[in-house]
Amino acid sequence: MRIRFTKMQGAGNDFVVLDETRGTLGLTPAQYRFLGNRHFGVGADQILTVRPSPGPDIDFQYVIHNSDGGEVEQCGNGARCFMRFVRERGLTTKDAVRVQTLSGVIEPRMGEDGRVTVDMGAPIFETEKVPFDPAGLTPQHEGAWQTWHLALSTHAEEAIIAVAVLSMGNPHAVQVVGNVDTAPVATQGPLIEHHPRFPQRVNAGFMQIVSRSQIRLRVFERGAGETLACGTGACAAVVSGIRLGLLDPRVDVETRGGRLTIEWAGVGQPVFMTGPAVTVFEGDIEVPEQP
């Protein structure tokens, strides 16, 4: 099957974007993996699909697959690229659209400066909704909130880390580190992603506090590995830092791929994320029936 795609990136988190507003392609997980493959396919962290409105007061449906082929609930950097895509392809003339995802409705808005701001909805803290299994753990109360001690066992070492656990529609475990450049992302990332206390796996954030209004962040993403930026991860890290009493309500997040700005006014309030969204190129590719 020959398909048309658009390659996009938001702060270096890169995507294959598919337009299914005029009919669905019916791709399989193996075909999504093929599209994400950096050697045999196009190459991307996630594959984003634009579908028609599912109902009243909603402009589009937004479907997200990680490069491992699994469908997931949310993608923040992808939401900004989604907004640019529907504008550039003439699928909307609006400056802001309401978009249905697996985890609810989000609202990306084009900014004057070409950056995009997304209302990502309110973070979710109930452990059963992350989901996270705290059985047998005692929450560590730091400031106004709690972290959890996770045991990470490798053949080489036993490590106990303290993570903040929350959902931005997708699950996140965030730890504070002294320096993201030397943080054990490659070794601890997979152990956290696949930790048995996260039945749906989890995105693992490593946050360095630079000041009350600036952090550095690396994220080992569920289903994709370390990416140059993670939008929901930036939201989760800033929300965690604010609840731990370490950050102010507006924070610049320096990722390896660029800067995101996150604003959150407190529990029950939505998180706003602002950042870049870039179209890299368009193309066609032959997708094998059985890749």
Binding site listing for substrate: 13, 46, 66, 76-77, 170, 203, 221-222, 231-232
Asked if 40 and 34 count as a contact pair (C-beta separation under 8 A), the reply is: yes
Answer for which of 197, 222, 237, 240 binds ligand API (CB under 6 A) is: 222
- Helix ranges restricted to H, the chain: 29-36, 76-88, 185-193, 231-243
Stretch that binds ligand API, among 31-39, 71-79, 148-156, 260-268 (CB under 6 A): 71-79
CA distance 35 to 16: 7
CA distance 84 to 64: 16
Asked if 39 and 189 count as a contact pair (C-beta separation under 8 A), the reply is: no
Q: Please state the closest distance from residue 183 (CB atom) to ligand API, in A.
A: 18
Binding residues among 164-193 for ligand API as defined by CB under 6 A: 170
Nearer to ligand API, 41 or 169 (CB): 169
Asked if 88 and 243 count as a contact pair (C-beta separation under 8 A), the reply is: no
Q: Which residues are catalytic?
A: 75, 230
- Distance, C-alpha 162 to centroid of its chain: 21
Q: Please state the closest distance from residue 170 (CB atom) to ligand API, in A.
A: 3
CA distance 12 to 111: 19
CA distance 172 to 169: 9
Contact flag: residue 230 with ligand API (CB under 6 A): yes
Q: Please state the closest distance from residue 84 (CB atom) to ligand API, in A.
A: 14
Contact flag: residue 276 with ligand API (CB under 6 A): no
Answer for which of 49, 61, 66, 103 binds ligand API (CB under 6 A) is: 66
Nearer to ligand API, 37 or 212 (CB): 37
The structure tokens listed for 234 are 């930036």
Question: Where along the sequence are the contacts to ligand API (CB under 6 A)?
Answer: 13, 45-46, 66, 72, 75-78, 170, 203, 221-224, 227, 230-232
